Amino acid sequence: MKNGKPNILVVNDDGIDAPGIRALIDVMKELGNVVVVAPDSPQSGMGHAITISKPLRLDRVHIYPDVEMYKSSGTPVDCVKLAVNKVFKGKRPDLCVSGINHGLNHSINVIYSGTMSAAVEGAIESIPSVGFSYDDFTYDADFSKCLPFIKTIAQQVLEHGLPQGTLLNVNFPKTDKIKGIKICRQANAKYAEEFDERLDPHKRNYYWLTGIFQNNDKGEDTDVWALANDYTSVVPIQFDLTAHHAIPFLNNWKLNA
């Protein structure tokens, strides 16, 4: 706490000058003392990558008045690590929020998302953490309908905290009116991926990743269902990847025979 207000770390993967992070900063300024550490360029799809083969840069910038801001040459996860170790000097902020991402991070997308990986890193550091994403990839996306929900969710996290080892994945639909919030599970859905093969001017092959989203999960308790029905989806996720239900199955194997 500083000046009786919570300290809030804001990160993203779209870059420090993305409109989504500006919208998130504006909300967080109403709730506490904001510190921003974000990539100096877009880092979408980086997942939980960290930089180990080259040095990192961390530079103070002055983009928004009265906000302590730093840009980093690293990944979204690097930004959280640098924030904890160099900006907060080992002291944990009271909240870490990531986003607002331009584009959804529902279902399997959470695995690939730099936005969510930054929030996961916050949770690994024992900071209550939330990732926010909106169903609009355009640079000039209108985040205004998301902001009241972001404020409410952040307030609740600050008041109640989160269970150890968990964080929240929050996605907003692009709709005329958001009906409310649904606590959901992650849908069993993914992209049927293809690679569009082309030739460069030197007649060498190159590839663009494409695909069609396929939802094989017909449940009405999933993030995909909630978003399709104009609700904000809130999915509690965890960084413990242990498949606990598989341990009894493996214990039946004759591994030490």
CATH number of the structural domain spanning residue 108 = 3.40.1210.10
Asked if residue 212 is part of any domain, the answer here is no
Domain total in the chain? 1
* Residue spans of the chain under pLDDT 70: 1-2
Asked if residue 236 is part of any domain, the answer here is yes
Cα(225)–Cα(212) distance, integer angstroms? 17
Asked if residue 256 is part of any domain, the answer here is no
Asked if residue 201 is part of any domain, the answer here is no
Asked if residue 203 is part of any domain, the answer here is no
Q: Give the model's pLDDT for residue 193.
A: 84
Cα(214)–Cα(189) distance, integer angstroms? 6
Q: Could you tell me the pTM of the whole model?
A: 0.93
Residue 74: which of 37, 119, 125, 100 has the closest Cα?
Answer: 37
Q: Give the model's pLDDT for residue 1.
A: 63
Asked if residue 257 is part of any domain, the answer here is no
Asked if residue 11 is part of any domain, the answer here is yes
Cα(240)–Cα(165) distance, integer angstroms? 7
Asked if residue 116 is part of any domain, the answer here is yes
Cα(45)–Cα(112) distance, integer angstroms? 5
Q: Whole domain around residue 111: which residue ranges? A: 7-186+218-251
